[in-house]
Copies of this chain bind each other. A is one copy, B any other.
Amino acid sequence: MSRPNLALVGATGAVGTVMRDIVSTREDIWGEIRLVASPRSAGKTLKVRGEDVVVRALAPEVFDGIDIAIFDVPDEVSAEWVPIAAARGAVAIDKSGTFRMQPDVPLVVPEVNPHAAADRPRNIISTPNCTTLSMMAAMGALHAEYNLQELVVASYQAVSGAGVAGTARLYDEVEALAGDRGIGQVAGDVRKALDNKLAEESPFPAPIAFNVVPWAGSFKEGGWASEEIKLRDESRKILGIPGLKVSATCVRVPVVTTHSLAVHARFEREITVADAHRVLAAAPTVVLMDDPEKGVWPTPAAVVGTDPTYVGRVRQAIDFPNTLDLFVCGDNLRKGAALNAAEIAELVARESLSA
Interface residues of A (CB under 8 A from B): 150, 152, 154, 156, 168, 171, 174-175, 177-179, 181, 183-191, 205-207, 210-215, 219, 222-225, 232, 244-249, 251, 253-257, 260, 262, 264, 273, 290, 292-293, 295, 297-306, 312-320, 323, 325, 327
* A190: contacting residue among B171, B212, B301, CB under 8 A: B301
Could you say which residues of chain B place their CB within 8 Å of the CB of A214? 260, 262, 297-299, 312-313, 327
Q: List 14 A-B contacts (CB under 8 A).
A: A152-B264, A154-B262, A175-B178, A185-B257, A189-B301, A211-B300, A214-B297, A214-B299, A214-B313, A223-B273, A223-B292, A225-B292, A245-B319, A249-B264
Contact in complex: A245, B327 (CB < 8 Å): no
Contact in complex: A319, B247 (CB < 8 Å): yes
* A247: contacting residue among B251, B264, B298, B301, CB under 8 A: B264
**Complex Cα spacing A317 to B178, Å:** 39
Assess A210 versus B256: contact at CB under 8 Å? Given A215-B292, A249-B327, A251-B262: yes
Assess A301 versus B249: contact at CB under 8 Å? Given A152-B264, A212-B260, A292-B215: no
Could you say which residues of chain B place their CB within 8 Å of the CB of A295? 205-206, 215
List the B residue with the shortest CB-CB distance to A207. Answer: B301
* A299: contacting residue among B211, B222, B245, B298, CB under 8 A: B211
Could you say which residues of chain B place their CB within 8 Å of the CB of A300? 184, 210-212
List the B residue with the shortest CB-CB distance to A178. Answer: B178
Contact in complex: B293, A219 (CB < 8 Å): yes
**Complex Cα spacing A207 to B295, Å:** 13
Assess A292 versus B175: contact at CB under 8 Å? Given A154-B262, A210-B254, A323-B247: no
**Complex Cα spacing A334 to B314, Å:** 32
Assess A301 versus B210: contact at CB under 8 Å? Given A152-B152, A219-B293, A318-B247: yes
Contact in complex: B299, A212 (CB < 8 Å): yes
**Complex Cα spacing A246 to B297, Å:** 22
Which are the 9 A-B pairs with shortest beta-carbon distances? A154-B154, A178-B178, A184-B256, A245-B319, A154-B262, A249-B262, A211-B301, A190-B301, A214-B327
Within the complex, what minimum Cβ distance (angstroms) separates A279 from chain B?
Answer: 16
A184-B300, A212-B300 are known contacts; what are 9 more A-B pairs with Cβ within 8 Å? Answer: A152-B152, A156-B251, A174-B174, A178-B179, A207-B299, A212-B255, A214-B298, A222-B316, A223-B315
Contact in complex: B293, A206 (CB < 8 Å): no
List the B residue with the shortest CB-CB distance to A293. Answer: B219
* A301: contacting residue among B175, B206, B222, CB under 8 A: B206
**Complex Cα spacing A256 to B184, Å:** 6
**Complex Cα spacing A286 to B71, Å:** 46
List the B residue with the shortest CB-CB distance to A214. Answer: B327
Contact in complex: A171, B181 (CB < 8 Å): yes
**Complex Cα spacing A251 to B315, Å:** 15
Contact in complex: A315, B224 (CB < 8 Å): yes
**Complex Cα spacing A225 to B190, Å:** 31
List the B residue with the shortest CB-CB distance to A190. Answer: B301
Contact in complex: B315, A257 (CB < 8 Å): no
Contact in complex: A222, B302 (CB < 8 Å): no
Could you say which residues of chain B place their CB within 8 Å of the CB of A181? 168, 171
Could you say which residues of chain B place their CB within 8 Å of the CB of A293? 219
